[in-house]
Amino acid sequence: MKKILIIEDERKISRYLQLELEHEGYSVDIADDGAMALELFGKTFYNIVLLDLMLPKLSGEEVCRNIRRNSEVPVIVLTAKDKTFSKINLLDLGADDYITKPFVIGELLARIRVALRHKKDFSDGQLVIYEGIQLDLDKKLAFVGGDEVPLTKTEFNLLHYLILNREIVLSREQMLNSVWGYDYAGGEKIVDVYIKSLRKKVDQREKKLIHTVRGFGYILKEES
């Protein structure tokens, strides 16, 4: 079953799309702001993303750039903007297509089918690569410098989250909520324990990638 992520802050629209897409046999997740969208995208494989541009917390443009840095998943923009925001602008962001609101559901379904055909080589064997680290999101395997590195499920998810948010300072609370979940009952110290373990497995002799930012948290970036 193909899985679709709808990123749309208007609940009536997202619910309508969900019902129509599920009726067509797709599995659907919904994010109503940009931050939630990236959190879901970091945890789940999607075959296609439907993205509204006018979002709270993080703009649709920023979400699209972030997704495209890490994945070739097809992105169709849902926009109410006028013609001054051209298709060229959207393609520069990394979108595959766009459709202007209001739209006929049949047209959107057709565009989804076209996008999936054009991305026929995009499969669950998705790779995320950063500075010598390679994650196979399908097989849940990690490689550093070409060598396989054994990671626990939590270590793998934490490293994936760090790569998705590379060069951004992340607080312990952000990492705890995104990797362990909002209902995790333990304290933030668990983050430090797993970061220490990841450093031993990921940091390379000639290059340190996971850095402590005192008073804030951690950042994944190439050491300058």
The residues spanned by each domain of the chain are: 3-118, 127-220
Rounded-to-integer distance, Cα 62 and Cα 156, Å? 25
Give residue 120's pLDDT: 47
Question: Do residues 218 and 211 touch, judged by C-beta distance below 8 A?
Answer: yes
Q: Could you tell me which CATH number the domain at 127-220 has?
A: 1.10.10.10
Question: Do residues 64 and 93 touch, judged by C-beta distance below 8 A?
Answer: yes
Give residue 205's pLDDT: 63
Give residue 67's pLDDT: 86
CATH tag for 3-118 (out of 3.40.50.2300, 3.40.50.460, 3.40.47.10, 2.30.110.10): 3.40.50.2300
Strand extents, DSSP E, the chain: 3-7, 27-31, 48-52, 75-79, 97-100, 127-130, 133-136, 141-144, 147-149, 170-171, 210-213, 217-220
- Kindly report the pTM of this predicted structure: 0.55
Give residue 121's pLDDT: 41
19: part of which helix (H) or strand (E)? Answer: helix 11-23
Question: Do residues 4 and 22 touch, judged by C-beta distance below 8 A?
Answer: no
Over the chain (224 residues), the average pLDDT of each successive run of 10 is 90 94 94 90 86 88 84 84 56 78 88 76 59 83 87 92 85 87 79 94 81 91 73
Give residue 199's pLDDT: 92
